[in-house]
Amino acid sequence: MFQAKIKADFIRTVIDATAILVDEAKFKLTSDGIYGRTVDPAHVGMIDFKLDKEAFDEYECDEDTEIGVDLEKLKSILRIATGEETISFTYAKDEGRMTVNLGNLTRKLALLDVSEMADTKIPSLELPAEIGVPITEIWQAIRAAEAISDHIKLIADPESFQMIAEGDTDVVELKLTKDQLYTLKCGEKVKSMFPLDYLSDMIKIAKGKTDEGTLNLGNNFPLKLSLDMANGTIKIVYLLAPRIEAE
């Protein structure tokens, strides 16, 4: 038996963060929280998240189990909840449905067959640069870049971090020096380019929920974006494949 109560805004964060990549996802319910890991159909973006039991007002899980969730169905309930409202979830393995309660409203959600859903493995990456960035400034740079391009370069060196987007005639650039960043660990210059649409969606998840994100970057390697929210009880890690520049 799984039973839990949580603030609507907390569960909405996790569902929205996953739904930018896929319509359906497999979640693991455990005694210490809920885990999820999935990759989008184009294999460009990946999410790995944990929603700690401490994020919940009440939490009980007698047995580790996996469930398949239609994210749009769950989002349809979350859309009508205010951020401070509490949502209750109940799941019994033999029923095959999740019961969701919002105030006096009850919805029973049919779950998906997890045997039809592939397991996702995290690739082993050694990314030489780690940058603690201010989310607000990164978001502003992305929004400005979207007006002129569909991709953006991320560049780090021992003294600074840059984001550069180049259009047919215009250029958008954000440069943050070491003392303007939360952290900067970078032994040598690294640079990779990424699709703006994916990166925009990923950063948007963090906007207003945390001041800081951590980027791990290499030369033409995937980007790792780590986000801690709700006092560290929501942990989201995105991986984003690079767009390789033509020689």
pLDDT digits (tens, 9 = 90+) for 1-55: 899 999 999 999 999 999 999 999 999 999 999 999 999 999 999 999 999 999 9
Residue-level pLDDT at 245: 65
pLDDT of residue 246: 54
SS3 122: coil
Residue in 199, 186, 189 with CA at minimum distance from that of residue 240: 199
Q: What confidence score (pLDDT) does residue 82 get?
A: 84
Region 2-115: CATH code: 3.10.150.10
Instruction: Tell the burial category of 145 from Cβ atoms under 10 Å away from its Cβ (0-12, 13-18, 19+).
Output: buried
For the stretch 58-79, pLDDT in tens is 999 999 999 999 999 999 999 9
Domain ranges for the chain? 2-115, 129-240
Output the CA angle 91-23-93, nearest 5 degrees. 15
Count CB atoms within 10 A of the CB of residue 117: 16
Task: List pLDDT tens digits, range 144-203.
Answer: 999 999 999 999 999 999 999 999 999 999 999 999 999 999 999 999 999 999 999 999
What is the rounded distance in angstroms from the CA atom of residue 20 to the CA atom of residue 182?
Answer: 27
pLDDT at 91: 94
Q: Which token pair is 217?
A: 């970057």
pLDDT of residue 157: 97
On whether the pTM is more than 0.85, the answer is: yes
Among 83-87, 134-138, 149-153, the range scoring the smallest mean pLDDT is 83-87
Task: Find out whether 75 and 17 touch, Cβ atoms under 8 Å.
Answer: no
The CATH number of the structural domain formed by 129-240 is 3.70.10.10
SS (H, E, C) 106-129: EEEEECECHHHCCCCCCCCCCCCE
The predicted pLDDT at position 4 comes to 97
